[in-house]
Copies of this chain bind each other. A is one copy, B any other.
Amino acid sequence: MIETVDLITDTRNRREKLREMMRLDGADACLIASNLHIFYLTGSIFAGVVYLHCDGTERFFVRRPVGMTGSQIRYIRKPEQIPDLLEQDGLPLPKVVWLEGDELSYGEWARLSQVIPGTRCVQASARLRTLRSVKTTYEQAQLIESGRRHALAYQKIPSFYRPGITDEAWTIELEREMRLNGCLGLFRIAGQSMEAFMGSTLTGDNAGAPSPYDFALGGAGMHPSLPIGQNGTVLKPGQTIMFDMGGNFTGYMTDMSRVFAIGHVPSEALRAHQVSMEIHQALSESGKPGKSGEALYDLAMDMVSAAGLSDYFMGLSQKARFVGHGVGLVVNELPVLGAKSRDVLEEGMCIAVEPKFVLPSIGAVGPEDTYIVRSWGMERITPGNQEIVVI
C-alpha cells in the first residue's frame, strides 16, 4: 500500500531534499530557472526563478503569469532585482550558488550567474538529475496512471489497421487515440540529443535506418528536419510494425513499445521477440536496489549473445549501447542501463526497458515497458500482453 501525499507537501519535500544535497556539497543556495525544475520543485510552471537557501528560506521570483499567490512569491521584472528583494526580506546573500548548467543556455547562465554579486556559481545539473531519478510516492502514482492510460490507448492499435495503410497514417490514428485518452502530447526531452513529436513507429527496412538522435532505434522520419521514426512505408504482409510513443498523461512520461505482425512473419522475428521478453523477465527480477546499470546491460547482452542475435540487437549499422533508461518528467532521466553505466538502482526509480532487435526487411521487434524499482525487483507499470499481436 503506497501512501501518497498531496502535491504541495510533496514538492516541499523535494525542495527539502535538494537543500540537503546543497548542505552536503557546501552550497548556500540555488537559483533554478528552467521550466522543468521549476515544475519539479513547485508543481507549477512560471517564468522566473526559484531561490532556495540551505537555511530553509525560499522565494519564488515570478515574472509571469500574473496572479500567483503565496508567502514565498515575489514578483520581478528581471532577475537582477533578486538581491535587493532578498535584502528587503532580511535574508543573507549566498556565497556559493547552484545553477542549472545543462538546462540553461550559455546566455541564461551568464546572466543569472551575475545577478548576486560576489557569488561562486556551481554547475548542479547532475545533482538535480540524481535527485529526480528517485521518484516520490506522489510521482510514482503519476507514472502508474500514465502507464495505465498508455496501455489502454495501445489496445486500440489493431483496430486502426487496413490493408495498404502506411506507418504514418496508422500512427496518426494512435496519436488521436492517445490524445482522447488524456495524453498531453508533448514529448519532453532534456537537451538536444533527441527530438520527437509523440513517438516513433518502425516497419520494414526503415527500422534499420540510422538516426542522428540518441533513441534506441532510428527510422528516417517523414522529413529531413525531423529524422526519426516512420517514413510513410506501406505496411506489407510478412513485416512487423513497432509503435513506441511517449505516454505523457500526467506530466510524467511512461515509455512503451508494442509490436504487431502483418500476417505470418519469419520465425527469426518471433524468436528475437521471445528473447526480448526473456530479457524483460530477467532484468525485472535482477533489477533490485544496489544493482548497477552496467550489470543489467551486461546481463541483457549476454542473453542476446547466447541466442546468437547480437547482429540484430539495438540497431543494425548503428547500435545503441543501452537497453533501458530512466523516465519521469522527461524521457531521458537516470539511471541508464548501458555500457559502462555507473548508475546504481534505488527503490523508487522509474526505468523504461527496451531490448529491441531489427530484422532486415522485416522490421523491429521486442517490447518496451516501464518499471518502478521495488525492494524485490522491478514492477511493470505499463500493463498488458507483451507478445507480438498478429493482424
The interface bits of chain A over 316-329 (1 if a CB of B lies within 8 angstroms of the residue's CB, else 0) are 01100000000001
Q: Do A64 and B211 touch across chains, with their CB atoms under 8 A apart?
A: yes
Known contacts A102-B106, A125-B107, A198-B185; decide if A318 and B226 are in contact (CB<8 Å): no
Q: How many residues of A contact B (CB 8 A)?
A: 60
By beta carbon, the residue of chain B nearest A317 is B66
Q: Do B226 and A184 touch across chains, with their CB atoms under 8 A apart?
A: yes
Indicate whether A366 reaches chain B with its CB closer than 8 angstroms.
no
Indicate whether A237 reaches chain B with its CB closer than 8 angstroms.
no
Task: Report B-chain residues with C-beta under 8 Å of the C-beta of A186.
Answer: 195-197, 226
Q: Do B105 and A64 touch across chains, with their CB atoms under 8 A apart?
A: no
Task: Report B-chain residues with C-beta under 8 Å of the C-beta of A318.
Answer: 64-66
Indicate whether A162 reaches chain B with its CB closer than 8 angstroms.
no
Indicate whether A193 reaches chain B with its CB closer than 8 angstroms.
yes
Known contacts A107-B101, A317-B66; decide if A225 and B212 are in contact (CB<8 Å): no
Indicate whether A255 reaches chain B with its CB closer than 8 angstroms.
no
Indicate whether A5 reaches chain B with its CB closer than 8 angstroms.
no
Q: Do A102 and B101 touch across chains, with their CB atoms under 8 A apart?
A: no
Q: CA A250 – CA B223 in complex, angstroms?
A: 7
Q: CA A210 – CA B105 in complex, angstroms?
A: 25
Task: Report B-chain residues with C-beta under 8 Å of the C-beta of A66.
Answer: 210, 317-318
Indicate whether A34 reaches chain B with its CB closer than 8 angstroms.
yes
Q: Do B185 and A65 touch across chains, with their CB atoms under 8 A apart?
A: no
Indicate whether A114 reaches chain B with its CB closer than 8 angstroms.
no
Indicate whether A363 reaches chain B with its CB closer than 8 angstroms.
no
By beta carbon, the residue of chain B nearest A62 is B212
Q: In the assembled complex, how far is the CB of residue A288 from the closest CB belonging to chain B, in whole angstroms? A: 30
Q: Which residues of A contact B (CB under 8 A)?
A: 34-35, 39, 43-47, 64-67, 99, 101-110, 123, 125, 169, 172-173, 175-176, 179-180, 182, 184-186, 191-193, 195-198, 210-214, 218, 222-227, 250-251, 317-318, 329
8 nearest CB pairs, A to B = A225-B251, A65-B210, A185-B197, A106-B109, A101-B106, A101-B107, A172-B179, A46-B212
Q: List 30 A-B contacts (CB under 8 A).
A: A35-B192, A39-B224, A45-B195, A45-B212, A45-B226, A47-B213, A47-B214, A64-B212, A64-B213, A64-B318, A65-B210, A65-B218, A65-B318, A101-B105, A102-B105, A102-B107, A103-B105, A104-B105, A104-B106, A106-B106, A106-B108, A107-B123, A110-B123, A172-B180, A175-B179, A176-B176, A184-B197, A185-B198, A186-B197, A223-B250
